[in-house]
Amino acid sequence: MGKKEAMIQALMRELELRKEEFKDVLVDCIYFGGGTPSVLETEEINLLIQTVYTHYQVSADPEITLEANPDDLSEAKIEALHKSAINRLSIGVQSFFEEDLKLMNRAHNAAEAVRSITLSRKRFQNSSIDLIYGIPEMSNARWIENIEQALALDVPHISAYALTVEPKTALEKFIKKGIIPPVEDEVAQAHHAILVERLEAEGYQNYEFSNFGKPGSFSRNNTAYWEGKSYIGIGPGAHSYDGKRRAWNVSNNPKYIKAISQNELPQDVEQLTPTDQYNEYVMTRLRTQHGISLKEVLALFGEKMHEYFLQQSQPHIHNHFLFQEEDRVYVTKKGKFLSDGIAADLFMLNLSS
């Protein structure tokens, strides 16, 4: 058995081993992400999806997304995916400029990015692209050109993230040597503000800090994550969450396959304390357009945490980073880019569970 076949068999077996975790849950989205899932053949994708249907309850119209890079999406590949059970594509474009793509060490070029979106839009009504902002030496004008190109391609969903410099990468080395200027928060903040203004003018909703969708095109996968719903991650390095515990699989492929072949789950598990659960709730909900429900905080976490949240939020309300409207607390446009830092101020620490 080849390595790829062994991995697919292990993924199918893990799905079966973990079916009890979701015995009372209706699966509404299936997401192929991490690594390069587009290397899977259509038959292999359908086999994994069928395994989900065999062991889990699946909704009548689930969102089934596949992440892909532009250089993987030939016309033949897109046609094959269209004939599979996949009904949504998420394309890792990152930028429409060659200099940005080279800086981020991407395998595709700008022409491939445009071509992959153009071809995929003919077959997939529901699709998304990823863009990166805050790139060193990216002017506001060039960032606006990136946005305008995405709009011209009529993509219904856009995910945009600030550039992060990963350790031991070429980008980190270039910055340390002074070849490339460092990433600046002020630039990223300006780019995000431009993005929000331009996309909202075109009818997109910023339903979560990094995600923008036309009505009816919000990612169910993203929405479920930011609403704190349970999810199961299958495969090496995959993470899972059920509201009270977090688990993650070993990231080593041979170790993963060996454990699964012995009917063992190769994962570490962290039990979340009530304080952890409160902090998780604050962190995720604050990033969304629906904000934080005070009634929900009280119902889920009790009077002490409810009072603590009200107390900690007051300085940010005073500084116009947060605002309260009836039962809910939202981040203002002024505070949007600072939402993670604001959330950290609202966290509760050292509460005995």
Cα of 75 vs its chain's centroid, Å? 26
Would you state the pLDDT for residue 182? 78
CA 248/CA 251 separation, integer angstroms: 9
Would you state the pLDDT for residue 180? 77
Q: What is the pLDDT of residues 259-302, one digit of tens each?
A: 999 999 999 999 999 999 999 999 999 999 999 999 999 999 99
Would you state the pLDDT for residue 350? 62
CA 152/CA 157 separation, integer angstroms: 13
Q: How many helices (H) and strands (E) are present in the chain, helices listed first?
A: 13, 13
Kindly tell me the burial class for residue 288, based on how many C-beta atoms sit within 10 Å of its own C-beta (0-12, 13-18, 19 or more): buried
Would you state the pLDDT for residue 241? 96
Is the CA virtual torsion 334, 337, 340, 344 positive or negative?
negative
Q: What is the pLDDT of residues 295-339, one digit of tens each?
A: 999 999 999 999 999 999 999 999 999 999 999 999 999 999 999
Would you state the pLDDT for residue 28? 96
CA 245/CA 277 separation, integer angstroms: 9
Would you state the pLDDT for residue 353? 42
Give the chain's domains with CATH numbers. Answer: 26-226 (3.30.750.200), 290-346 (no CATH)
- Residue 158: C-alpha distances to residues 36, 62, 94, 208 (Å): 19, 20, 11, 11
* Count of alpha carbons within 13 angstroms of residue 265, beta-carbon side: 19
* pTM of this structure: 0.92
Q: Tell me which residues of the chain have a pLDDT lower than 70.
A: 1, 350-353
